[in-house]
Structure formats: structure tokens, C-alpha cells
């Protein structure tokens, strides 16, 4: 497996970001970015990412969070959103970290490596335990969570997506 570098985007990442978006064609663009839609401006999205990381100008229902992208040889293969705190919505679904790997990179261990690095980032924020959630039928995701000592709190029904969600806690 090639080395994964998990980091924030910088202003020079526009070409890599736009190329990475193509790996998500046919999927919900939300899995790649919360702030960018196809045809959108990279600079506007980048400014929103900086604001959200700093907790500035947050939209209703949003909490401070840092979006980290996984790079291999300059190519984006996935992303991890690290929420600095939880609100009621994130306590039900979302938790402190959410991650996604582009379809063509799945099944290669990249999610595991990105989560490993994201957990170190969470520690740097002073978090001592984090909630991570996933759909009950997403075995690859819950296996990653369990690799890092995730303890299943419970399973809850999500009315919005009409599916059962597993809620885990990982303690450092």
C-alpha cells in the first residue's frame, strides 16, 4: 500500500481537488465535500473550510470541524471530517469523525490508515474519546471502527435516511 498523507487542503490543491472529485462521479458529492458542488468555486469552498476549522461564520446546526484529505502521490483518495465537538444531531449520526474513500480506492486499507491519522488529530485537539457512527449494513466501516477499539454504544433508527445506525465510542 502506498503511503497516505492526511492533511488539510491548501490554496495550491485546486487541481488535485477537482481531479479527486471526478473519482466520486455518480455518487453523492457530499461524500467528497460538504461545501463544494460540481461547478463550484474552489476558492469559496476553501474559505468556508478555513472558517469552519476556526469556528467562524458557522451555518445553523454546524460545529467547528476540520476537513482532512487523504493524498497518495498527490492524488486525493478520500477525506475525513473531524468535528471538534458534538451537537444533538451529531450525537445521533455523524459523531466526531466521518470518513469516505473514493470508490476506486476502497478495499485497500486506506480508510484504516486515514482513521488512524485522524485519531491522532483528534488527540491534538484535546479529545479523549470520540463518537464514530456508520450504517449498520456498512460492514467495511464498522470493521475499521472496531480495529481502533470502537465500543458499540447502541444501534438507532435514522428517520431521515431510513436506516439503522451503529454508534461507537473510541477512547484514547
Asked whether the predicted pLDDT for residue 31 surpasses 90, the reply is no
Report the pLDDT value the prediction gives residue 1, as an integer from 0 to 100: 65
Report the pLDDT value the prediction gives residue 25, as an integer from 0 to 100: 86
Helix (H, G, I), strand (E, B) or coil at 156: strand
Tens-place pLDDT, residues 55-106: 999 999 999 999 999 999 999 999 999 999 999 999 999 999 999 999 999 9
Query: In the CATH scheme, what architecture does the domain 5-171 have?
Result: 3-Layer(aba) Sandwich (3.40)
> Do 126 and 82 meet the contact criterion of CB atoms below 8 Å apart?
no
Distance of CA 50 to the CA centre of its chain: 16
Question: What are the residue boundaries of the structural domains of the chain, listed by start?
Answer: 5-171
The average pLDDT across 128-153 equals 97
pTM, to two decimals: 0.94
Amino acid at each position: 500500500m502506498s503511503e497516505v498523507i492526511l492533511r488539510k487542503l491548501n490554496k495550491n490543491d485546486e487541481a488535485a481537488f477537482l481531479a479527486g472529485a471526478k473519482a466520486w462521479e455518480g455518487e453523492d458529492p457530499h461524500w467528497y465535500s460538504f461545501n463544494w458542488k460540481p461547478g463550484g468555486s474552489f476558492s469559496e469552498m476553501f474559505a468556508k473550510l478555513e472558517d469552519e476549522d476556526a469556528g467562524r461564520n458557522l451555518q445553523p446546526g454546524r460545529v467547528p470541524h476540520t476537513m482532512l484529505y487523504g493524498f497518495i502521490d498527490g492524488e486525493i483518495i478520500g477525506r475525513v471530517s473531524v468535528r471538534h465537538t458534538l451537537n444533538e444531531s451529531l450525537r445521533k449520526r455523524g459523531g466526531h469523525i466521518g470518513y469516505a474513500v473514493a470508490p476506486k480506492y476502497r478495499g485497500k486499507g486506506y480508510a484504516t490508515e486515514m482513521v488512524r491519522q485522524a485519531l491522532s488529530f483528534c488527540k491534538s485537539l484535546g479529545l479523549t474519546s470520540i463518537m464514530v457512527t456508520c450504517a449498520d449494513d456498512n460492514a467495511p466501516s464498522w470493521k475499521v471502527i472496531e480495529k481502533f477499539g470502537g465500543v458499540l454504544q447502541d444501534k438507532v433508527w435514522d428517520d431521515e435516511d431510513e436506516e439503522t445506525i451503529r454508534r461507537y465510542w473510541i477512547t484514547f
